[in-house]
Amino acid sequence: MATALRIGVVGGSIAGCAAAVAGSRAGADVTVYERSGAELQDRGFGIVIPPPLHRELVGSGYLDARMETAPVATRVWLTREPGGRSTRELARHSSPVTPCNWGLLWRSLRASAGAVRYLRGLPVTSVRETADGRAVITTAGGEETYDLVVGADGHASRTRQLLAPGLSPEPAGYPVWRGAIPLGALAGHPRELELLRGAWVTLGFPGGHGIFYLIPGGGPCHGPGDRLLAYAIYGRPPASWDTDADPGPYVRELAREHFPAAWAEIVARGTHRTTACHPVADVQVPRAARSPLLLAGDAAGVSRPHTASGAVKALQDALCLERVLREGPTVGAALERYADERTAAGAHLLELGRRMGRAQVDETPDWAAMGQGQVDAWFRGVLAGTRHYLYARPAPGG
């Protein structure tokens, strides 16, 4: 069904490149419009992918098997010892993840898109529907007509307004500070480095928590086994917080006040490869597709990043898109199936992310009073009967 289709993709990031691979694999003629003229591969933040999804993406040709990852199998929960600066371990869970470097993931998807036309530095100024059920993309270079337009233009998506006018992300009331630090920051902390070689870490503190894990380096001179320490720290900002300010000083101050000494020193002394601070927010469209328009990735829905599902959902969206295009029999029928499946998945993640945010930021437990059993019971309550790849079961011996 997709063989004669022309697909226009608005946005050339992870979701856009994955959608382009999906359309191309289904036999369509695909054009991607990316507003940025810069190399997106230079973004070096960490993301994680469920191992089964990673295997599926490699097996189906979306990702190169040679793309470096840093898989670990265990999640370790830590906090600061009451009345001191030492580290206390609370719990361990079997939680296999495949951490990636954002830039390497984008590069692999971009390469897999093959003959897809990728137009960089060409913002889309408008998308409109035609009387015959097609869609027109307008740029400074002119207009082109497509059988299907994929909106993959991120959390502030303009194409979202075509399917859900007036809908915008709802702020959570707290930010996430993200960064990546060269592994040299761990040189004086062999115990922490050894832990991170086989696990990813959740560090709880009053009013928030931090996530730490290793990712491939991804730089122009990186070699096999080169690693960065990626982190994401959630907490309430200070009253005088400036969203445009360098996030580094406040992260270091927060770590000094709440982290065990070793972890505070790692954050404070590390020469950050990259840093950012983003307000946490969420949104979900009532319907992720209506012919000839489809939304993918953050354009369709943003869950709070506690679910670690931003890139994951975009990749799952692409796999679904390829499947429904292959099955046909018409664009309209394919997009109805896509909308049924992916809207429900997005709504599930939105609610789960809100529960995780309430539990780990808004209403944090007394971390220091918890042990394995308490963490197990607490997080079962957060999941409320749902399943999620970040939480499986206590690790052997945990």
Question: Of 362 and 40, which is predicted with more confidence?
Answer: 362
**Total residue count of the chain as it appears in this document:** 398
Tokens, residue 51: 């191992």
CA distances from 120 to 159, 279, 299, 335 (A): 18, 27, 19, 27
What is the pLDDT confidence band of residue 219, given thresholds at 50, 70 and 90? low
**H-helix or E-strand containing 253?**
helix 248-258
**From residue 251, how far is each of 227, 258, 272, 360 by CA, in Å?**
21, 10, 12, 17
**What is the per-residue pLDDT for 398?**
43
3-state secondary structure 357-373: HHHHHHCCCCHHHCCHH
Note the pLDDT tens digit of each residue in 297-313.
999 999 999 999 999 99
Give the pLDDT band (50/70/90) at residue 110: very high
Query: What pLDDT sits at residue 149?
Result: 98
**Selected residue with higher pLDDT from 83 and 53:** 53
What per-residue confidence (pLDDT) applies to 48? 96
The predicted pLDDT at position 170 comes to 95
Q: Mean of the pLDDT values across residues 113-126?
A: 93
Mean of the pLDDT values across residues 25-44? 82
pTM (whole model) above 0.85: yes
Q: Identify which has the larger pLDDT, 126 or 248.
A: 126
What does pLDDT average to over the chain? 91
Other Cβ atoms less than 10 A from the Cβ of 171: the count is 11
Residues whose CB is less than 8 angstroms from the CB of residue 35 and which lie 6 or more positions away in sequence, other chains included: 11, 121, 122, 123, 124, 153
Cis, bond preceding 292 (omega within 30 deg of 0): yes
Please give the domain boundaries of the chain with CATH numbers for all domains.
6-37+121-164+282-354 (3.50.50.60), 72-102+173-280+365-394 (3.30.9.60)
Which two tokens mark 104? 């390497």
